[in-house]
Every structure is written in structure tokens, then in C-alpha cells.
Amino acid sequence: MSVRGPVSGARGFAELSRFRTAFYGCLSARANAFFELTDALLCADGPVRTPVELSLTAEHRRGYGSLYGALNHGRLDTDQLRDLLASLPLPRFGGRLVLTVDVSPWLRSDAACAPQRLFCHVHGRSKAAPQIIPGWPYSFVAALTPDRTSWTQVLDVVRLGPADDTAAVTARQLRHVTECLITARQWQPGDRDLLIVMDAGYDVMRLAYLLRDLPVELVGRLRSDRNLRLPKPPRVHDPRGGRPPRHGKEFRLAAPQTWPEPAIVTVNDTPRYGKAEARAWDRLHPRLPQRSAWIDHSSELPVIEGTLIRLKVDHLPRDREAPPVWLWSSTTGATPDDVDFIWSSYLRRFDLEHVFRLFKQSLGWARPRMRDPQAADRWTWLIVIAQPQLRLAAPLTTDVRKPWEKTTRPGTVLTPTQVRRGFRHLRAHLPCPARVPKPSRPGPGRPPGSKNRHPATHQEVGKTAKRPSTLYERDRARP
């Protein structure tokens, strides 16, 4: 274990120590057990197989009963944790923050008694093998990095419940994260708007309308069968009268004959995808019907205009065929530089998958067989809090390799898994606010031969609230 430079090392130790002390201040009930469990996550050898094995590590000084007691009955302040994560130094794209939001499921197909499970869409080994498996879906918001690394910083996590509207929950989550970043002075008046990128599973146009009062720009991928509308034509005098049109001609993404000449065309050479050609059309918007998500909109439906971008690259990695990608940005009047920045930032969204792999394969996020979803939320927050500690410890550690493994080249950025190998050596020099455990004896437990008189209830899977999709269904549901 070594420190890279005395000045940077002292500053890095101070920042990591401050974070650990502030994290302990966010814990209330079972705070000591929570803190030592997080240290055991960071210092365990190899991937985490089950939480009870973490109680055997030297960093976890308490018994395995306190571990499960903290997960089942502990309390942590999630609002303070969000503020703490927002106060960290965040990666930027030329001074601009770029965020992403995505959902990752905690699959619980065999937990028939676990409540609040939903049907989660899981991709198979091929495009023709998707699966629907019960589980707990979690929505993550993270700050992206301009380079292809695994150091995407998670800022918030929320579990989606059976009665939740995904778009409404995502809008509240993005609003809360944005307000935390503004409070932490990560964004100040005069800075460029925060850029938030998302995949096609989100209704980016509805989210842009819900977050229109915040300094954010939303970018989302559109399905190739969507139909949009061009801006309304200039108003001309019609002697017959009538209402002027609110929408222009139809723009069908799958029909090139409906495309007018693009306002912007850019061509760039990329080392990973070959030639990348981007075409952009300004002020395109959907024609919203008053049903589904907009069924309760009392006034006239809005016209949500933005910039439509069609990105076409020569090939994907490993010379795979690359279909065109359609992106929609909530901003209008984009310049060629803005168009290139939008699609290049969207491609960095896939770096969040490396964080999900770290959570599930190395830190064992989905390993526990918990029944209570609140206990799963507490375990998820411990996993999220462990990641920034690895990020802050990255400049303080060197690669710890086994004798038969290859050494990394000088100047290579360490991965989170490599930093986790050396965190145990670094922890000895960091403050540990958790108190020493008091000696105690285990409880008597259930008397031998007695039966469990409180059996678990079988829980159904899926949504519990059905929303009307048409005006007729809404009127019939009203008393």
C-alpha cells in the first residue's frame, strides 16, 4: 500500500475521513452495526456471497445477529445521505454536469411471501430471449464521466412500488437530486443547464414538461416507430375563418419521405464507432392525446418542442451492425456543437451498467434473501454509500495483485474492484467512529418443539392501482 504524493495523499485522506464521519452522522438506530457492515463490504476478500459471511471479517466486530438486526430494524436518514452524495466532487463534461437515470431490478422470483414485488423486464442472452421475472425495481440517478470508466457516481436510489407511476416517481427523484445539487453549489446561476440522459423506457417529453421549472435539459432515446409533428406553419389570412393549426405536418421516424431537410448535419470520426453522422431538426413535438398520462390535464394540452437528432454510425464494437438512434432533446435552437455534445453524452449513459455489475457481482447487492422491502432499501443504501468511498480512495491506493496475476501498466486508472482489494490496508489509517461492541449473550430464541404461529402471508406480484386510460374509463370510475 502506498500514497501517491504527500500533498495529494493528505488531501485525499482528509476528504475520505470527512465523508466517513458524515456518513456515520446520517445513521441513528443501529448506527455502529451499519457502519461496520459497510466497512466489511469494502474490506471483504472477493465477491460478497451472503451478508452473514461479512460478520466473520475482522472489520465487523459484532455478531451476525446485529447485522440482521440493523437491516431489519435500523434507521438511516436518506435525505442526509442524498445531501452528502451531492456535496462530493463530481465529474464534469467541460464544466457541465451530465446525469443519467436508469432502473435495475433486484430479482426475487422465489420469494412468494415478499410484498411489493413487480414484474421486471430482464434481457436474455439474445435479443429474442427477454424474460419477465418478479422482483424489486430500483431507480438510480448517477453523474456520468466524460471518459469510458467505471467511476460513475450514484447520487440517489428509489424503489418503485406497486402503486407508483414510473414517470411521476422519476420526476420527483430528478427534482430532488437537482435541488440537492443546487443547494450544494454544484450548479450556480450562469452555469449551463444540467444534462439528464435516459433510455427509451422513459417518457422524456412528459418528464421535460414536469421539470420545466428547473435548470435541466433532458435527452432521451425514441423508438423508431414514433410519430412527431413539425412546427406549426406561419399563420395566413383565411377568409373562411376557423381556428389556426397548433401542429405542423407529420414527421414519421420510420418514413424518410416525411422528413424535411435537416437544420444541422455534423460528421465526426470516432475510434470506437467509425464515422458518426448526426442530423438534427428543430422544434419537433408530439401531438398529445388526452388519455393515459395526460387524462387529468384540465387545461389545453401543451406543445412540448425540442430538437430531434438522428445518429448513424458505421458500426458497433466487434463490427456489429449499427441501426440508427433517434434522440430528442428538450432544448430548441441547438447549434452543431450542441448536437455533438448531446449524442456523445448519451453514449456515456452505458457506463452506468458497470456500476450495476459492481453492485451485483462484487458487493453482492442482490444476494440477500430478504422478505421485508424496507430492509432491502437499507441494504441498497449501504451499497450505494460504499461506492463513493472507493472513488475517494482511488488516488490513495495502488494495485494489489496476486503473484500469478499481471501487473497494471503505469498510469492506468484502477477499477473499483482493484481499489477494493487495497481498501483494507487504507482503512487502518482512517477514522472509525463506530463504538466498540459490548459483550452480550444471545437470546433464548424459540423454544425447541414449538411451532411458528405467525406464518408469512402469500403476496401477489404486480401493480395494485389501475389508472384509467381513456376519458370514458375516468368518468365511469368517478362517484
Strands 194-198 and 216-222: parallel
Nearest to 312 by CA among 321, 300, 303: 321
Query: Phi and psi at residue 24, in whole multiples of 5°?
Result: -65, -30
- Count of residues making up the chain: 479
Q: What is the pLDDT of residues 164-176, one digit of tens each?
A: 999 999 999 999 9
Give the count of beta carbons closer than 10 Å to the beta carbon of residue 445: 7
Please report, for the chain, the start and end positions of each structural domain, with discontinuous segments joined by +.
Answer: 6-81+368-401+413-427
Q: What distance in Å separates the CA atoms of residue 66 and residue 73, rounded to the nearest whole number?
A: 10
How far, in Å, CA of 202 to CA of 160, rounded? 14
Helix segments in 145-244, DSSP class H: 166-183, 204-210
104-117 confidence digits (pLDDT tens): 999 998 899 999 99
Cα-based distances in Å from 84 to 22, 146, 352? 7, 23, 20
Bridge partners, 326 (sequence order): 222, 310
Cell, residue 455: 406464518
At residue 166, φ and ψ (nearest 5 deg) are: -60, -45
Tens-binned pLDDT, residue by residue, of the chain (479 aa): 333 333 357 888 999 999 999 999 999 999 999 999 999 999 998 899 999 999 999 999 998 888 999 999 999 999 999 999 999 999 999 999 999 999 999 999 889 999 999 999 887 655 666 788 999 999 999 999 999 888 999 999 999 999 999 999 999 999 999 999 999 999 999 999 999 999 998 999 999 999 999 999 999 999 999 999 999 888 776 777 667 788 899 999 999 999 999 999 999 999 999 999 999 999 999 999 888 788 888 888 999 999 999 999 999 988 888 999 999 999 999 999 999 999 999 999 999 999 999 999 999 999 999 999 999 999 999 999 999 999 999 999 888 887 888 877 777 888 999 999 999 999 989 989 999 888 877 777 778 888 888 888 888 898 877 777 776 676 677 76
d(CA 44, CA 70): 19
pLDDT digits (tens, 9 = 90+) for 201-213: 899 999 999 999 9
Reported pTM: 0.91
For 250-280, what is each residue's pLDDT tens digit?
A: 999 999 999 999 999 999 999 999 999 999 9
Q: Which set of grid coordinates corresponds to residue 25? A: 452522522
